[in-house]
Amino acid sequence: MVQPFRRLKESPSQTAGPYVQIGATPNFCGIEGVFPHDLGSQQLSPKARGQRIVVTGRVLDGSGTPVKDALIEIWQADAQGIYAGPGERRGEADPEFPGWFRQPVDGATGVYRFETIKPGIVPYFDGRPMAPHITFWIVARGINIGLHTRLYFGDEDEANAADPILARIEHRFRVPTLIATLDDADAVPTYRFDICLQGENETVFFDI
């Protein structure tokens, strides 16, 4: 006798397909008039508090070739370590800083570029401080489920050494795949963070 199945089944996954950029960022793709602007494409407000930074890099496949149809979203705390959103209970986030941006990579070069602010320290669930970081979400054709990773800053050695998430990575040689290098320390610091989907230098991705 067949036993009843009393729990919901997981929905099947499928790739984002070749049109993810068109659906998520039509203005970027030249399809104007659908929305006044692409969601998440807002410029950083000049009133946002904190140190301005630029985060840039490429999404690379297993051969080291740039993936030219990837779409990236970033989430982060503000300069004081406060997140925007109703789930934040520690204080009020900077109203001039949304904490979330979305951008497709450049179709010719595969490069992404975000202008944002350097985030503050936020607590782990047990209260321990986490080093300043930015959460990345990446989708592209051939990726069944969006990939989550983190960017940590290469000039935050002391904070990174004490970070509880970085400490949980078993294979220590992979930790550098989460560390962005400071390319330019002029008026607006520029951090380079390449995301490798496969291969010898595959970026650490988180199952969340």
Q: Encoding tokens for residue 56?
A: 């840039």
User: In whole numbers, what is the pLDDT of the chain averaged over residues?
Assistant: 89
Query: Is the CATH code 2.60.130.10 the one for domain 20-42+50-196?
Result: yes
**154 in Cβ contact with 165 (< 8 Å):** no
Helix or strand or coil: residue 166?
Answer: helix
Distance from chain centroid for Cα 72: 6
**Residue 74 — pLDDT band, cuts 50, 70, 90?**
very high
**Residue 66 — pLDDT band, cuts 50, 70, 90?**
very high
Burial of 80 (0-12, 13-18, 19+ CB in 10 A): middle
Can you give the pLDDT at residue 171? Answer: 94
> From CA 96, how far away is CA 48, in angstroms rounded?
5
- 162-203 pLDDT tens trace: 999 999 999 999 999 999 999 876 688 999 999 999 998 999
Whether the predicted pLDDT of 1 surpasses 60: no
Measured between alpha carbons, how far apart are the two ends of the chain, in Å? Answer: 37
pTM for the model: 0.88
Can you give the pLDDT at residue 43? Answer: 85
Give DSSP secondary structure letters for 65-94. PBPTT-EEEEE---TTS---STT--SS---
H or E stretch at 167 = helix 164-167
**Residue 20 — pLDDT band, cuts 50, 70, 90?**
confident
Can you give the pLDDT at residue 145? Answer: 85
In DSSP terms, which residues pair with 130 in a beta bridge? 122
Whether the predicted pLDDT of 13 surpasses 90: no
Average pLDDT over residues 92-121: 93
Residue boundaries of the structural domains of the chain:
20-42+50-196
Q: Is 94 left (phi over 0), alpha (psi -120 to 50) or beta?
A: beta
* Per-residue buried b or exposed e for 147-181, using 16+ beta carbons within 10 Å of the residue's own CB: bbbbbbbbebeebbeebebbeeeeeeeeeebbbbe
Q: Longest C-alpha distance within the chain, in Å?
A: 72
Burial of 133 (0-12, 13-18, 19+ CB in 10 A): buried
